[in-house]
Amino acid sequence: MSENNTAVEQMSGTSKAADSIGQKFAKLILSIMPWAIVGTLLWAGIFVKPTAVIEEVIPPVINVRDNIFGLSHVDADIYMAVGNYGKVIISTDKGITWNNQITPTEAHLQDITSWDEKYSVAVGNDGVTLRTEDGGKTWVEVESPKSDTANKLLRVHSYPNGEAWAVGEMGMILQSTDYGKTWNQMREEEDVFMNDIVRVDDTTLYIAGEFGLIFKSTDNGKTWKDTQTDSPNSFTAVAFRTPQEGVVVGLGGSIVATQDGGETWTYIKPETSGMTEHLMDVDWSENTNQWIAVGNKGKWIKFSADLTQFDSRNLSDTDLTSHTELAIDGDGSFLSVGQTVGSMDIKSNAWTLFAD
Amino acid sequence: MLEKFALFCMRHRKVVLGLVVVVTAVLANFAYKIDVKTVFEDLQPGSHPYIKVHEQFKDTFGGTSIITFMVQSKEGDIFQMPVLKKIRDLTQGLYKIDAINEFQIFSIAGKKLKETRASTVGIESFPYMWPELPETQADIDYMKEAILRSPLVYGPFVSKDLTATLITVDFFDNLLDFNLAYEQAYALVEELDDDTVDISLVGNPILYGWVDHYLPETMKLIGIAAGIFLVLLFVINRTWRGTILPLLSGAISAIWALGVAQLCGIHFDPLVVVVAMLITARAVSHSVQMMTRFHEEIDKVEGHEEDLDSLSAATATMKDLLRPGLLGIATDAGCVTVVAISPIPLLQKLVVLAVVWVGTVAISSIIVTPVLLSWVKNPKSYAHPLNLDLLVIRPFLNICVNVVATKTRYFVVGLATIVFIVSGVLAVDLTVGDANPGSPILWPDGRYNVDSAKINTQFPGADRMFVVVGGVEEGAKNEFGGKVVGKIKDVEILDGMLRFQQYMEQQKEIGATISVADVLPSVNQTLREGNFRYSELGTTTDQNGELLFMFERAAEPGDLLRFTDVDINYASVVMYFSDRKGVTIQTAIARVKQFIKDNPELQELANFRLAGGIIGVIASVNEVILSGQIQSIALALFILVMMCIIVYRSSIAGMFFMVPVVLANLVTFAFMSWQNIGMNINTVPVAALGIGLGVDYTLYICDRIKGEYDLGKSHLEAIAISLHCAGRGVLVTALVLIVSVGVWLFSSLRFQAEMGMLIGMWLTVSALSALFLMPAMAYIFKPKFIFDEDRELTSDANDAAVTGNAPA
C-alpha cells in the first residue's frame, strides 16, 4: 500500500512538476506577449510606411506622339517603317500590327529601304545611316560623309546588287554599292535641299529638289544637270512608271510630270488638280493604273497617267493628319505613314487606321 | 477617489448643474455662429513637397479650382452656327461668374486657343472665333480644318468625333466662394442648355457646391435621425427621462464642442457631419448606460417612490460607472488624438473638435445624466405599457447568457476567429484614394457624376496634374543639391520633356499631356514651309530660343504662361487624367519617379518636380494617408492598450480589450474594400476616429462582470448580471443608433450614405462582440483582471441555477 502510495505520490509529483514547467512557460509567454504586441504596435506606428502597388504599363508599339516618316515594302506582307527618336518597326501582316526593333540612335529617322527580308538601311537626322543584315534583329550605325552645316538625310532607295542612294540637306547625294556598309558623296556640297531620288534605268537618276528644281544624271550620278520647272514650290518626291514617264510632287500641291524621259516637264496647277496642300510622296499603282500621292492635313490624290483625271480627297472626315510616305500594295490599296499609320483602299476610298 | 468625486458631484448637484447650464448657454452662443463650409486648402497637407510646388505655380499652370464645361451638340458636330453661338455665349458668360481668373479661360471661342500660320513675318497666330463668330459656311469650314490640324486643340479641347468642345476656367482661390460659383455656373448652364446643345459641368468648386446644396437635406436627415432615435428610446425605455436625457447629453456635448471649435477659429466641414454622428453616438451610449444602471438600482429598493431613492440610486450609478465611462472616454480621446500626426489641416482641426467633443461626453453623460436622474420623482412609473424589455430585450440577453454558459461559446470564439481572418485578408485590398471613377462623394447617377462620365468619354480627361521642369533662378537647387544649370530652351531639356510626355502617355488613364515642347515642333514645321519631316524640336538651344521667340511674338502677352513662367525659367508638363482613382494616381506618380530615376543626367539639367493641379494635390493627400494609415492604427491601438494596462494594472487587459477594436475595424475595412469604398480625405476621418471608439461597450460589460465577481458572485452569475444590465445598455444603444444611422442611407450624398453604413456596421460589430464574444472569452480564459482570485471565495455551484444548464 505504502509503496503504491509513494509511487502515486511520485507520479503525481512528477506530473505536478511537468505541469508547473508547462504553466511557467505559458505564464512566461502570456506575460511577454502583451508587451511584445505593444512594442510591435509602437514600432509599426513609428517606422512602418507601406508603399503603393503600381499597375504595370505596357506601351503600345506606335504611340500617339510617334511620327513615322519612312516606309519600306519589304516583301509580300512585310513592311518596315522608321520614325522619330530612332524608331524602327516591322509588320508582317501588311501593317495591321507592328513590333519594335532596337536601334543604336536617338536621332529622328526619315526613311528606310530594303533589298530583301534581311538587308535594309535607314537614314535620318544628323546624317545618321543604319544598316541591318538580319532583318532588323541588329542595327548598326555606319560612317557616312557629312557636311559641317546640316546633315539631315531625307530619303533612301535601294536597287539590285546592294546599291542604295540617299539624299538630304546641303545638296547631299550618297551612294552605297555594298548594302549600305560604305557611302560615297556623289556631288559637291551646296545649299540646296535634295528631297528624293530615283533610278530609272542603268544610267539615269532623278532628284526632286527645292524651289521647282529637278536634277538629272545620265552617268550613274557622276554629273548632275538641273532643270527649273514651272512649279514655284519645292518638290518632295519623285517616281517613274517607265523610263519615259515620271511624276514629281511637292509643296502646295505641286505636280509636274514628264512623258519623254525628263526632256520636258508639265506643271499641273493646283486649280487643275484640286490639290492645294503639300504632297509628300508619290507612286504608281499598277493594280488601279493611277498615280497616288499623299501629303499634309490628311490629303491624298489619285490621277491618271495621261494627267487628265484628278481626284483629290481626304483620308477620312476626321483624320487630317500629315503623311510623309506611302507604299503601294499589289491588291489595290496603299499603306501610308506619318502622324498616323493606316491603309487606304484606292477604289473604295476607305481608310483603315492602324495606329494613332 | 472616483467614489469621492461622485459623492462630491451629488452633494453639490445644484452647483454642478448650474455650472453646466451657464457654460452651455455661453458656448451655445458661439456654437450658433460656427461656419459650415469646406475650405479646400484644409484638405491639402501643407508640408508635403507636392503642395509646395502646387502653391508656387498654381496661378499660372492651373489650380485645383478649375471648372470645366462641355458643350455637346445634340445633332451633328459642333461646327454649325447655332452650336458655335452657344459656345461663344457660354465663353462670354464666364465673365459673369465671380472670382474667375480671366487669363485662364480656355475655349475655342476665347483668346487663348489659336491657330498658328506662316506669314511674311514668320508666323502669326489667330484665335479661332474671337471676338467674332465666323460669318459664312466657308469660314466655319476653314475653322474646322484649322482645329482638326492642331493637336493642342483637336483632342484636348474639341472631341475626336467633333461633337463636343471643352471650355475651362480657373478661379482666384482666395476670392472663390464655392456656393456662388456653383450657383452662377449652373445658372449659365440653364440659360444655354436647350435643344441644340447639351452642357455638362464639373470641377471642384461645383463638387463642393453640391455638398453645400445638400446641406438642408443633411440637416433634415439629422432631424429625422434624432426623431427616430427619440421615438425608439421612448418606446424601449418607457420613460420621458429615458428619452430626453440621452438626447440632452448628446446636445450638450455638441454645443460645447462646436462652441469651443468656433472659439478656436475652426469651421465645420459638412463632410464631417457623420463624424459628429459618431461622437454623439458615444455620448448617447454612455448616457443610456447610466440610465439602465439607475433603473437597476431603483429596482433594488422595494416599494418606495420618494425623492431620496433617486438620489442614492443616482449616486451609486455614478460611482460604479465612473471608471468604465471615463476609461472609455479617455481611450476614445487618446485614439482620436493620434490622427493629429497627419499633416492634413482638416484632420488636425477635426482632432481638436473630436477630442473636445469626446471629452465633453465625460461631463454631459457621466456627470449630468446621473445628476439629473437624482431629481427624478416616481422613478418606478412608466409612460406607456408596451414593455419591450419583457418581450424582446430580456429574451435576447438570455440568449447571450446561454451562449456563454453552453458550448456555443466556443463556436462564437471560433466564428470570430474566422471573421477575423477573412476580413483581415479582405482588408488588405483596401484602396487608398478613390476606388471608382467619378466623385465618391456623390451617387454615380447624380448629375455631377453623369456629367463627369460624359466628359471623360469624349475627352482625355478633365482633371489635371502638372510637373514643373527647370528653375535657373538664383540659388535654385536640384534634388541632388547641385545648382540647376539647364535652361528650358536647352535642346536636352525640351527633348527630355517630350520623352517624358511620351512615357507618361503610355498609361491609359492619362489621356494627353501638354508642354511648351509640344508647341515648338509645329512652329518649326511652319517655318520649314510646313514640311512635316521638320515637325521636330530645334537641333540647338539657339534654334529653340528662336522658335520660342517666334511663338511669343505671334502670341498675345501671357499666352505662353500656361507653358512657362514669364522669364522662361520654369516650364510645366500638364497631364490630363480620365479619373481620380487612387491606383491611377499612384501609378502616374510612380512612373514620374521612375522616369526621373532612369534619366539622372536629364534630371540634373531639367529638375523635374512633382506635382501640382488637382491630381497633384490628391496624390499628396493619398501619400499622406497611405503612409499614415498603419501609423495611426498602430498608435491608436498602442494608446488603447496602455490605458487598459494602466487602469486594470494588467497587461492581459490590454490584449483583451484590443479584440473588439481590432475586429470592428477589420470588418469595417473589409467592408470598405468589398464595397470599393476608398480611403480618401473624406473617409479617413471616420475610419481614423472609428479605431478608438469600439471599446466602450466591452468596457462597461467587463467592468460590471468584475464588479459582481468581486462582490462574491460566481463567474456565470457575474456575467449574467452584467449582460442583463450593462448588456441591456449596449443592446438598446446599438439598436437605437443603428436604426437612426440607417437614415443616412437615403442621403443624396453617396459619401454620407456609405459612412452611415460604415458606422452602422461598426456599431453592430462592436455590440455583437461586447454581447457574445467578450463574455465568452472572459468565461473561457477567465483573465485575472476580471476574475480576481483574491476575492472571498464563493462556489460556482450557483452557475447552473443562472441558466438552468449545467456549466460546461
Tell which residue, B444, B300, B405, has the closest CA to residue B798. Answer: B405
Average pLDDT over residues B119-131: 74
Please tell me which of the candidates A51, A57, A296 has its beta carbon nearest to residue B506: A57
pLDDT, greater one: A65 or B305: A65
- Cβ distance of A125 and B645 shorter than 8 Å: no
- Judged by average pLDDT, the poorest of A12-26, B188-202, B255-269, B510-524 is A12-26
CB contact under 8 Å between A57 and B507, yes or no, is yes
**Interface A:B, Cβ pairs < 8 A:** 126
**Residue B570: all three cell numbers together:** 520654369
Q: Do A125 and A41 lie in a common domain? A: no
pLDDT of residue B804: 44
Q: Touching check for A148 and chain B: CB below 8 Å?
A: no
| Chain B residues near residue A33 by CB distance under 8 angstroms | 655
- Check pLDDT > 50 for residue A13: no
* Other CB atoms within 10 Å distance of the CB of residue A289: 11
Find which of B431, B532, B631, B657 to mutate to test the A interface (most A CBs within 10 Å of its CB).
B532
* pLDDT band at residue A18 under the 50/70/90 scheme: low
Residue A244 has pLDDT above 90, yes or no: yes
Q: Do B635 and A234 touch (CB under 8 A)?
A: no
Whether residue A285 sits in one domain with residue A146: yes
Full residue range of the structural domain in which residue A213 is found: 68-355
Work out whether the CA dihedral B134, B140, B142, B147 comes out positive or negative.
positive
Nearest to A51 by CA among B627, B616, B680, B688: B627
Residue B587 to residue A57, Cβ atoms within 8 A: yes
Q: Which of B532, B587, B642 sits opposite A54 (nearest CB)?
A: B587
Ranges A144-148, A334-338, B60-64, most confident: A334-338
Are residues A194 and A49 part of one domain? no
B-chain residues near A64 (CB < 8 A):
505, 512
A43 with A76, same domain: the answer is no
Confidence (pLDDT) at B121: 61
- Tell whether A7 and A130 lie within a shared domain: no
Task: Give me the percent of chain A exceeding a pLDDT of 90.
Answer: 63
Of A54, A78, A93, the residue that ends a domain is A54
Residue B789: what pLDDT? 73
Compute the half-sphere exposure of residue A267: CA atoms within 13 Å on the CB side of its CA: 20
Average confidence (pLDDT) over B284-310: 76
Closest CA to B344 of B609, B749, B40, B691: B40
Domain contains A301: yes
Interface contact flag, B658 A64, Cβ < 8 Å:
no
Q: Select, from the ranges A231-240, B258-267, B742-751, the one with the highest average predicted confidence (pLDDT).
A: A231-240
CB contact under 8 A, B630 and A50: yes
What ipTM does this complex have? Answer: 0.87
Q: Answer whether A234 sits within 8 Å of B529, measured CB to CB.
A: yes
Does A278 fall in a domain? yes
Q: Do A177 and A278 share a structural domain?
A: yes
Range B400-409 average pLDDT: 90
Helix (H) or strand (E) holding B247: helix B240-263
**CB distance B507–A42 less than 8 Å?**
no
Quote the CA–CA distance of B488 and B365 in Å, as a whole number: 64
Per-residue model confidence (pLDDT) at position A130? 95
Does A234 lie in the same domain as A191? yes
Q: Are B572 and B488 in contact (CB under 8 A)?
A: no
Is residue A62 included in any domain, yes or no?
no
Least trusted range by pLDDT, from A35-39, B51-55, B187-191: A35-39
pLDDT over threshold 90, residue B636? no
Q: Is residue B480 very low, low, confident or very high in pLDDT (cuts 50, 70, 90)?
A: very low
Domain contains A60? no
Residue A81 vs residue A36, higher pLDDT? A81
* Alpha-carbon A39 to chain mean position: 60
Record: contact A50-B629, CB cut-off 8 A: yes
Residue A230: its pLDDT value, please?
A: 92
Cell 510617334 maps to which residue? A66
Question: Which pLDDT band holds residue A4 (cuts at 50, 70, 90)?
Answer: very low
Tell me the nearest-neighbour CA distance from A203 into chain B, angstroms.
30
Q: Is the pLDDT of residue A298 over 80?
A: yes
Partner B, chain A 305-324, Cβ-Cβ below 8 Å: 318, 320, 322-324
- For residues B147 and B128, is the Cβ–Cβ distance under 8 A? yes
Region A169-182: what's the mean pLDDT?
A: 94
Residues of B in contact with A278 (CB under 8 A): 529-532
* Region of poorest pLDDT, from A92-101, A134-143, B511-520: B511-520
Q: In this predicted structure, what is the pLDDT of residue A239?
A: 96
pLDDT, tens digit, 9 for 90 and up, residues B247-289: 888 889 989 999 998 898 888 887 777 778 778 877 888 888 8
Assigned domain for A281 exists: yes
Percentage of residues of chain B with pLDDT beyond 70: 93
Question: Which of B499, B505, B641 faces A41 most closely, judged by CB atoms?
Answer: B641
* SS (HEC) of chain A: CHHHHHHHHHHHHHHHHHHHHHHHHHHHHHHHHHHHHHHHHHHHHHHCCCCCCCCCCCCCCCCCCCCEEEEEEEECCEEEEEECCCEEEEECCCCCCCEEECCCCCCCEEEEEECCCCCEEEEEHHHCEEEECCCCCCCEEECCCCCCCCCCEEEEEEECCCEEEEEECCCCEEEECCCCCCCEECCCCCCCCEEEEEECCCCCEEEEECCCEEEEECCCCCCCEEEECCCCCCEEEEEECCCCCEEEEEHHHCEEEECCCCCCCEEECHHHHCCCCCEEEEEEECCCCEEEEEEHHHEEEEECCCCCCEEEEECCCCCCCCEEEEEEECCCEEEEEECCEEEEECCCCEEEEEEC
Q: From B344, B351, B441, B348, select the one nearest B41 (Cα to Cα).
A: B344
Let me know whether A73 and A44 are in one domain.
Answer: no
Chain A positions in Cβ-Cβ contact with residue B507 (cut-off 8 Å): 57
- What cell was used for B227? 426623431
Q: Calculate the average pLDDT of chain A.
A: 88
In the prediction, which pLDDT does B346 show?
Answer: 84
With respect to residue A128, please indicate whether it lies within any of the assigned structural domains.
Answer: yes
Q: What is the pLDDT of residue B692?
A: 66
Region B132-143: what's the mean pLDDT?
87
Q: Which of A26-40, A161-175, B272-286, B511-525 has the highest mean pLDDT?
A: A161-175
Give the residue on A whose Cα is nearest the Cα of B517.
Answer: A65
The shortest C-alpha distance from A202 to chain B (Å) reads 30
| Contact call for B505 and A63, based on CB within 8 A | yes
Please check whether residue A297 touches B, CB under 8 A.
yes
Residues A181 and A218 in one domain: yes
At A19, is the pLDDT very low, low, confident or very high (cuts 50, 70, 90)? Answer: low
Chain B contact present for A113, CB below 8 A: no
pTM: 0.83
- Residue with the bigger pLDDT between A183 and B337: it is A183
Q: Are residues A95 and A191 located together in one domain of the fold?
A: yes
Chain B partners of A37 at a C-beta cutoff of 8 Å?
Answer: 641, 654-655, 658
With bands split at pLDDT 50, 70 and 90, how would you rate the model's confidence at B89? very high
d(CA B584, CA B432): 11
Give residue A167's pLDDT.
95
Which pLDDT does position A52 carry in this prediction? 64
Domain count, chain A: 2
Residues of B in contact with A30 (CB under 8 A): 652
Task: Report the CATH number that the domain containing residue A193 is assigned in CATH.
Answer: 2.130.10.10
Same domain for A36 and A157: no
Phi, psi of B212 (to 5 degrees): -65, -35
Instruction: Measure B176 CA to nearest chain A CA, in Å.
Output: 34
- Do A44 and A10 share a domain, yes or no? yes
Phi, psi values for residue A175, rounded to 5°: -125, 140
CB contact under 8 A, B536 and A110: no
Output the DSSP codes for B639-656: HHHHHHHHHHT-HHHHHH
Highest average pLDDT, of A94-103, B309-318, B738-747, comes from A94-103
Q: Cell numbers of B21, please?
A: 447650464
Residue A207 has pLDDT above 90, yes or no: yes
Helices B215-237 and B240-263 cross at an angle (nearest 10°) of 150
Nearest-Cα residue of chain B relative to residue A52: B586
